[in-house]
Amino acid sequence: MLRRLTRIIPWLACVGSAAAAVAPPPPTPDDGTTFHLFVGDQYTYDDNLYRLAESVSAVASTRSPEATRADSYNTVSAGGIGQWYVGRQNVDFSLRADYSRFVHNTALDNTGGDAQVVWNWQVGSPFSGQVGAEFNRALASFAETRYLGRDLVDYKNYFGKGTFQLGPHWAIIGGVREMDITHGAAVAAFNNFKNRSGNAGLQFTTGVSDIFGLEYQYAKGLYPSNFVFDNVPFDRDFKEDIYRGTITYAITEKLNVDAYAGYLKHTLSSQNFFSGSTFGDFSGNVWRVTLNWLPTEKTQLAFAGWHELHAYLASETDYFVSKGFSITPTWRPTERISVAFVASREDQDYVAAQTVTGAVPSSLAPARFDRVTAEQVSVFYIPRQRWTLNLFLRNERRSSNQADIAFSDKSGNASFTYKFW
């Protein structure tokens, strides 16, 4: 039961207006080698599409004559999903194309999609790991970029990781990753971003699900050159070092904890005219704790709390210290129905300065601080073996010390997917 829930809950969390994704849940290892073609349709309504403050009313004059604050749009999708087993090797793959059309804000009409391939490899008994690539194209979130036009963002991710088993309890882990973010809108191209990272560590396993580890992570962020901030050249490239300890532990048969705690150092170039402490440097503790409880065979309750350094994928230059918590009860009354509710609150304390009125740090505006609270519910239903139905509702509120960034939004969608075999 736990395995089924842990596979379906992340999938439910991804279904929403931000992702515009219609796809069946991924196959399980018990399904063996399999492949499915599918088609789907998702209808979405959003009462504050551009995530505007209440004081902003003239949306049409801002973008185009037909622009409206609230809108509906329809997304038609088609693709394939499956997995392939050859001996001890397993390859997971998926491909999806999305065709989105808006009722009023037709300037936002777009074609996007998603593709992924992951090779889960194993060599002998001691060596195992993953090699994979991901691609996604979707409309950028207006809450992230603040650009009120069509900005299709391409996300590319290449990764590899491995585990070397030293014995029945000890293992060495490591991995590398490269992520590339490219904006389609010319005015947003300054936020193009490339991240190269790696990690290495040691794990100690005491049981089937009890793991303790020590790990080091390194990352380097690369941005387009020739960026100018308040008429002064500014190098936004950064490097990041993280030292952390991890734990995955089953407290009881129905209660487990997954957590990490460590120290993170995020630094910009020392050659900048403006000091890094004003424009993005950060050093301090980071942590996250998730508790999963299975009170009954049909219910699960997850609680998470965190203190981390975050940045939105579509706006990587705006780093903020994220402090928050979420609670996620899930109910699965039958094998064909799942209901998941998520309530969360997040404080976003931005590290980098947002605006200036002159050319010296003393003229900077106060650092931005936001609070985001949200509730959402997903209902997932399989009426027949090939059919999947989903209902998603979300209520979100953002307060901020910058009045033009605060907003409230209610959105929801209904979708269905049909697998041909």
* Backbone φ, ψ for residue 191 (5° rounding): -95, 10
How many residues belong to the chain? 421
> Which amino acid, residue 272?
N
In a domain, 187, yes or no: yes
Give me the domain span that covers residue 244: 116-419
Residue 2 has pLDDT above 60, yes or no: no
Query: Is 126 inside a domain boundary?
Result: yes
* pLDDT 10s digits, 221-265: 998 887 776 677 777 888 999 999 999 999 999 999 999 999 999
Whether the CA torsion 117, 191, 351, 276 is positive or negative: it is: positive
Residue 365 lies in a domain: yes
Question: What is the model's pLDDT at position 62?
Answer: 55
| Of 151-160, 276-285, 360-369, 371-380, minimum mean pLDDT range | 360-369
pLDDT score for 7: 34
Predicted model pTM: 0.86
Within-domain flag for 320: yes
Give the contacts of 124 (CB within 8 A, at least 6 positions apart).
none
309 inside domain: yes
Query: Which residue reads 């403006």 in tokens?
Result: 274
CATH number at residue 290: 2.40.170.20
pLDDT score, position 143: 85
Span 308-346, pLDDT tens digits: 998 876 665 678 999 999 999 999 999 999 999 999 999
CB atoms within 10 A of CB 276: 19
Question: Which residue in this structure is represented by tokens 């002064």?
Answer: 232
Please tell me the predicted confidence (pLDDT) of residue 3. 35
Q: Which of 388, 377, 379, 368 is nearest to 410 (CA)?
A: 377
**Separation between Cα atoms, residue 375 and residue 408, nearest integer Å:** 12
Q: Is residue 31 part of a domain?
A: no
Number of other CB atoms surrounding residue 138 within 10 Å: 21
Structural domains counted in the chain: 1
Residue 321 lies in a domain: yes
Residue 41 lies in a domain: no
Beta carbons within 8 Å of 43's beta carbon, 6+ residues apart: 72, 73, 74, 75, 413, 414, 415
